[in-house]
Structure 1
Amino acid sequence: MECVDLHADPGALERGGLWFVVADFEGAERGGRARAWRFAESGPPPAPRAWRGPRPDRWRSSSDQQEYEAAVSTVRARVRSGDVYQVNVCRVLSAELSPEGSEPSAAALAHRLAQGNPAPYAGAIHVPAGSGVDPVWVVSASPELFLRLDQGIVTSGPIKGTATTAAGLSAKDRAENVMITDLVRNDLQRICEPGTVGVDRLLAVEQHPGLVHLVSTVSGALRPSASPWSDVLAATMPPASVSGAPKRAALGIVDELETEPRGPYCGAVGWVDADQGAAELAVGIRTFWWSDGVLRFGTGAGITWGSDPRAEWEETELKARRLVALASGAECDP
């Protein structure tokens, strides 16, 4: 097994082999990490043991409702003053989880989420501590495509707009999705052939367990001169849909308002097949990560001038409710 630091050696993903990637939202300049692992051939993984998560009353939030709504009001003021158009404001839920043995079973939680909350970009990456390389423990039920690379075409599927039913999607949701779709288009133009970047699908409604999303699709032809991963990650991280617009200004406000690092939440989770020139990375939303005896889960919402603080808090609750319940032992009909 091999592990590389992608900030220090992004070219590793171009030297061949199948790699599994976890990139933190914060990035190197903010103390975050982007790493990739390559595994030796081995037999099938063991069957997952039963998942035993924290009790429902053990979860704590990095921001309570009053603090989160105040952050929403702050962003609205910054929009009014012309600093930004949109900022994604998040909070991190955490609960102590120190199982018998060294680490909880990522495979067990992944199996549980697959049964109760199937997602198109779900996955789990677990490298145990003490294995000789950097450890990682991430389980994601992501519904969102960050980047797909296939035969030189790079595709992204930003999500903006969430409601319990399609009828609940608002004009604010649609405006926010268009805004972020344009930001993704701008990101891809930095690495794609001029004239090839286009919006293939705009404002499509996708049904997911317990909620619906507005999803758009943007694609372009990667420039032959582009170094696929050093250039691609530099141009697109962190993902536009979980940052804001303009991205640099939005990230500065995120730093001001959020009290805990997001880590792999809102980063990227997925795989790169350097031999085939193919990859699929999910935006690390609906994602659990575990370290130092604590299980964490992030949830957030995109804030614009049209945001209502109470409604944005409720959106973060909606996004977290089902998955946190599953991680806490509840049974959910898929």
Structure 2
Amino acid sequence: MDEQRSWASFAGRLASDVVECVDLDQEPHRLAETGPWFVVVDFEAFGRGGRARAWRFAHVSDGVPPGDLAPSGTAWRGPEPTSWRSSLDRDAYQATVRRVHDHVREGTVYQVNVCRVLQAPLPLVHDGGTPVEPDAAALAARLAAGNPAPYGAGVHVPASSGVEPVWVVSASPELYLSLDGGALASGPIKGTARTAAGLTDKDRAENVMITDLVRNDLQRVCTPGTVAVTDLLGLEEHPGLVHLVSRVRGALAPEVAAAEDRWGQVLGATFPPGSVSGAPKSSALRIIDELETAPRGPYCGAVGWVDGDCAELAVGIRTFWWERGPRDDGVLRFGTGAGITWDSDPVAEWRETELKAERLVGLASTTVTAPESNLWRSGRHCPR
């Protein structure tokens, strides 16, 4: 089997041949340098034990079709459908929802996003020659065909590259942050159902609560008086479900925009995303650390690109990541969760986590031949 090449893709921007990786915990100012930098930030990053990293690549192309990722003739080889296991089973998840109720009753918090991590064994591929990592590009193409998403992404830097490795494939529908022309924007999602008729007053109240949290986050780095909710409780349809989405926008403060560590300031003010933590955020994070039994990793973190004073970062939901551990030959993981408030029904919240996972886990568990691709063309450098 040919040696795997490194690549990254996000919302139509495709890169190949990794050059370097930087640790954003230590050097967030590097994001101000010429990029684009492809970013993957763990939910637990910035002081909570997770990683925040960015990779730069030699070749970048724009306007690449979403499914144009996997090398011709390759197939995605996913786990057996029955091999997935959850960090919290149904009884444990419902008990966790009831624990959040206790915190709400005590006045500690208004909302907590409670998640569970699914995992299935997925070993190195042995097709003769040197074993290689599972084909992330083939999974990305599979998701682009079966579950198209506005912020579809993939970043794969194999361990054999000699650069800090990563393996993440996402079909995220949610904007964490964009920066363009000095305008900083976010698009929090709260409220999920199979159809629009299934959305409830609880979903709408939850969305308003988190939208206010995101507005407060943006105000920490934007010019006073410029932060506004430009769309509240918008309805978006995605494969198999619908979401309530709001939009918040502000003008990045001139002193932040001019700072060498501007991305350190922006991420410090807004991370982790409010829609996947809770309100108040600091209290919600303490409760998440107490109740969840597995780290989220890239799930609920950030995935996207930063290029100087422009950026587009998604919330890392609907996200798969693959890793090798000291006692295994590789594990594929996927996270799913729901926002818990006083009005939450434990059974309904469990079902929401199932709804969010069922389509994507089904796609990832299926072996399907991928379409032809020109991922491995030399590409061109990103225009400035």
Q: Same fold (TM over 0.5)?
A: yes
Q: Is residue 317 from structure 1 mapped to residue 349 from structure 2 by the alignment? A: no
Q: Is residue 57 from structure 1 mapped to residue 82 from structure 2 by the alignment? A: yes
Distance across 1 between alignment mates of 2:284 and 2:59:
42
What is the match of residue 280 of structure 1? 312
Q: Which amino acid aligns with 1:235?
A: A
What is the match of residue 125 of structure 1? 155
Q: 1:291 aligns with which of 323, 332, 357?
A: 323
User: 301-310 vs 123-132, which deviates more?
Assistant: 123-132
SS at structure 2 position matched to 1:322: helix
What is the match of residue 221 of structure 2? 191
* Offset, 1:27: 1.1
Q: 2:245 aligns with which of 208, 215, 220?
A: 215
SS at structure 2 position matched to 1:138: strand
Q: Is residue 94 from structure 1 mapped to residue 119 from structure 2 by the alignment? A: yes
Q: Which amino acid aligns with 2:240?
A: G
Distance across 1 between alignment mates of 2:69 and 2:363:
23
SS at structure 2 position matched to 1:188: helix
Q: Is residue 85 from structure 1 mapped to residue 103 from structure 2 by the alignment? A: no
What is the match of residue 34 of structure 2? 16
Distance across 2 between alignment mates of 1:195 and 1:204:
23
* Offset, 1:41: 2.7
- Cα shift readout 1:40-76 (whole Å, capped 9, x = no counterpart): 1379976262101001000000000000000000001
What is the match of residue 264 of structure 2? 230
* Offset, 1:151: 0.3
Q: Is residue 25 from structure 1 mapped to residue 43 from structure 2 by the alignment? A: yes
Is residue 116–residue 292 contact of structure 2 (8 Å, CA) maintained in 1?
yes
- Cα shift readout 1:124-143 (whole Å, capped 9, x = no counterpart): 00001021211000000000
Distance across 2 between alignment mates of 1:193 and 1:125:
34
* Offset, 1:29: 1.3
Distance across 1 between alignment mates of 2:70 and 2:335:
28
SS at structure 2 position matched to 1:57: helix
Distance across 2 between alignment mates of 1:181 and 1:326:
31
SS at structure 1 position matched to 2:264: helix
SS at structure 2 position matched to 1:194: coil
- Cα shift readout 1:162-214 (whole Å, capped 9, x = no counterpart): 00000100000000000000000000000000000000000001000000000
Runs of 4+ in 1 over 3 A off after TM superposition: 42-46
- Cα shift readout 1:284-323 (whole Å, capped 9, x = no counterpart): 0000000010000000000000000000000000000000
Alignment of 1:159-170 (within 5 A): 159-170=189-200
What is the match of residue 270 of structure 1? 304
SS at structure 2 position matched to 1:154: strand
Q: 2:365 aligns with which of 325, 328, 334?
A: 328
Distance across 2 between alignment mates of 1:42 and 1:68:
42
What is the match of residue 344 of structure 2? 307
Q: Which amino acid aligns with 1:285?
A: I
Q: 2:99 aligns with which of 54, 70, 74?
A: 74
* Offset, 1:330: 7.5
* Offset, 1:224: 1.1
Q: Which amino acid aligns with 1:230?
A: G
SS at structure 1 position matched to 2:237: strand
* Offset, 1:278: 1.0
Instruction: Report % sequence identity.
Output: 69
- Cα shift readout 1:258-285 (whole Å, capped 9, x = no counterpart): 01000000000000112xx211000000
Distance across 1 between alignment mates of 2:110 and 2:274:
13
- Cα shift readout 1:217-271 (whole Å, capped 9, x = no counterpart): 0010001111330110000111100000000000000000001000000000000
Distance across 1 between alignment mates of 2:167 and 2:35:
22
Distance across 2 between alignment mates of 1:272 and 1:130:
25
- RMSD after superposition: 1.4
What is the match of residue 206 of structure 2? 176
What is the match of residue 278 of structure 2? 244
What is the match of residue 168 of structure 2? 138
Q: TM-score scaled by structure 1?
A: 0.96
Distance across 1 between alignment mates of 2:99 and 2:40:
31
Distance across 2 between alignment mates of 1:130 and 1:30:
28
The aligned length equals: 329
Q: TM-score scaled by structure 2?
A: 0.84
Q: Which amino acid aligns with 1:236?
A: T
What is the match of residue 182 of structure 2? 152
Structure 1, unpaired ranges of 5+: none
